[in-house]
Chain A
Amino acid sequence: MSQNSKIGAGLGGVVLTAGAIAFGAFLSNRHQNRGYDDAANHTKRQPEGSNAQVGRSVTIRKPRAELFAFWSDFSNLPQFMENVEAIEAGADGASTWRIKAPPGQTVAVKTEIASKKQDELIAWRSVEDSEIETSGEVRFEDAPGERGTRVSLVMAYDPPAGALGRAVAKLFLREPQVQARHDLKRFKMLMETGEIATSARTRDETRAAKQENG
């Protein structure tokens, strides 16, 4: 591993270790909201810069079981998760996520399934002494009428304090809120249309855009 990716992994480690701790607390709180209203925890007002959880829901016009099955095969995720280059399944049910880290490097993260409920929930977290610690969950619920399925992706996130921390997070992990939103939108596109929209005119332009983002 090069010098650069070590820096990336190191900073990521700091950020995501804090994230993983927050996530544990978050998971236990998710269905017993601390507030008195019914809004999801990640939409609670928080002091600036202390964005402990990021999350987003989309409605996808496909059956719950189909979406669950697609997501259950983690090797599908890099198709729409832009900063994940590949996810390889291991023998023990764990998998290795290869996450893009600038400039042009990847960081390997070994994750295990934290919880899984058929057609309802998949939660994952990085294994102990992984290079980076991370965790997330995706939930699938029937939407009303013929609207399909509501898909909610939630990840814990706790950036280092202050503007510098946010700048570092943006540089090395990209804005997680934005990333989560875009990834989910791409998932929806892929499921509803079979492709991911691009306004590029040429194939080279799409390649260039991807390299720029990676």
Chain B
Amino acid sequence: MRALTWHGTNDVRVDTVSDPEIINPRDAIIKITSTAICGSDLHLYDGVIPGVAPGDVLGHEFMGEVVETGSASDLEKGQRVVVPFTISCGGCFHCKQQQYSACDNSNPAEKQDMSATLYGQPMAALFGYSHLTGGYSGGQAEYARVPFSDVGPIVVPDHLEDDKVLFLSDILPTGWMAAENADIQPDDTVAVWGCGPVGLFAIQSAIVMGASKVIAIDRYPNRLELAKQLGAEIIDFRETDVREALMEMSGGIGVDAVIDAVGMESHGFAIDNMFDVVKQKVGMGADRASALKQAILAVRFGGKVSIPGVYGGMTDKWPLGAMMEKGLQIRGGQTHVQKYTKQLLEKIEDGTLDTTFLISHRLPLEQAAEGYKNFKEQQNEWTKVILKPGMEN
């Protein structure tokens, strides 16, 4: 089959690789109809995530048609499914708590040691996202092997086209969980750093959850415009002192909740000598966390801090005093996708949530490398890219 493979920093290519096969009883094989490039794919592209090997097939946001099933899969050939980026068994302690992104059993035993060194506990598996998270082939390809296919994939009705449901795989539930982690109450003022796809969905979710005011912070006019269309007030951080502005916009109290949808900055990713031991073992250094630090200073006493942005390693100069003195609640987390897919599919069907507004480009899979390059370098215009295997060039 054809698949987008990683070759090195800033080097991804569409190659011919072996077709996936059913290996375990609960597997299914999906013929992919749509797959997106995610902001976190750019961390792989930038080469800042360790454990990626040349030839690895990337992509964790995908959907398609079931073409083959293992003996214990409950899917049927011909069904259209969206596949969560988190691989979850459904039977372990964490899965039973609906903490799907902490599944004990999806990361192969021999691959768990690397992340256990970094976090004290091993990570669950994700599609197409480094051998830290299992080294599973991703979905920027013609086909994908989907383990635990009775737990992850959600069957979508035929009347909803791919563009409407594809983002159930990651960024929509991620934005939703970001807002949920900000514990939004009806009269809250919420500030969101980053108007990439996750930030935009967090803004939309916060509004649906009843926030009285959502303030979006970014530097790209087009992305700020998308936030404005959703009903947010906007701040361009190149133009404005963000903390001053937030204090004014919240009537001097400070915002009730903050959401950091920026995460580690892939550009200028710094290595801190203090963490050489960890770095030697897992190849991760210090994360720059300037948006998060700013968010913690801007939130009100007793405020809520939500971190959907991806961080990998350590950070320094953490505003510990602010966290303690202001009595903050801080919640992060990889998305428990399977917990949200059903309710969010209903909200898409009844029109409460729109997922199509941020799609800027649709490309054939063969042009995936071009998609990566532009998504990274032209963030103002290339807001979200969908790849379609089989689409005419």
Seen from chain A, the residues whose Cβ lies within 8 Å of a Cβ on chain B are 59, 61, 146-148, 178, 181-183, 185-186, 188-189, 192-206, 213
Contacts and interface: CB of A to CB of B under 8 A. Distances in A.
Nearest to B20: A201
Contact of B72 (A194, A200, A203, A204): A194
A203 B89 contact: no
A115 to B, nearest CB: 28
A123 to B, nearest CB: 24
15 contacts: A183-B109, A188-B104, A189-B89, A189-B109, A193-B90, A197-B105, A197-B106, A197-B125, A198-B24, A199-B108, A199-B111, A201-B17, A201-B20, A201-B57, A202-B23
A61 B92 contact: yes
Given A188-B105, A201-B18, A203-B21, A195 B92 contact: no
Contact of B25 (A183, A195, A198): A195
Contacts of A147: 93
Given A61-B91, A202-B21, A206-B23, A197 B113 contact: no
Identify the interface centre among A183, A193, A202: most chain B CB within 10 Å of its CB: A193
A197 B105 CA distance: 7
Contacts of A181: 109, 113
B109 A182 contact: yes
Interface of B: 17-21, 23-26, 57, 72, 89-93, 96, 104-113, 125, 131, 134-137, 145, 147-148
A202 B108 contact: no
Contacts of B131: 199
A135 to B, nearest CB: 23
Nearest 6 pairs of A and B residues by beta carbon: A185-B109, A195-B24, A182-B109, A192-B91, A199-B136, A193-B89
Contacts of A59: 93
Contacts of B125: 197, 199
Contacts of B23: 198, 200, 202-203, 206
B329 to A, nearest CB: 25
A185 B148 contact: no
Given A192-B91, A202-B21, A203-B21, A197 B108 contact: yes
Contacts of A148: 93
Contact of A202 (B18, B26, B110, B112): B18
A202 B25 CA distance: 14
B122 to A, nearest CB: 9
A202 B23 CA distance: 7
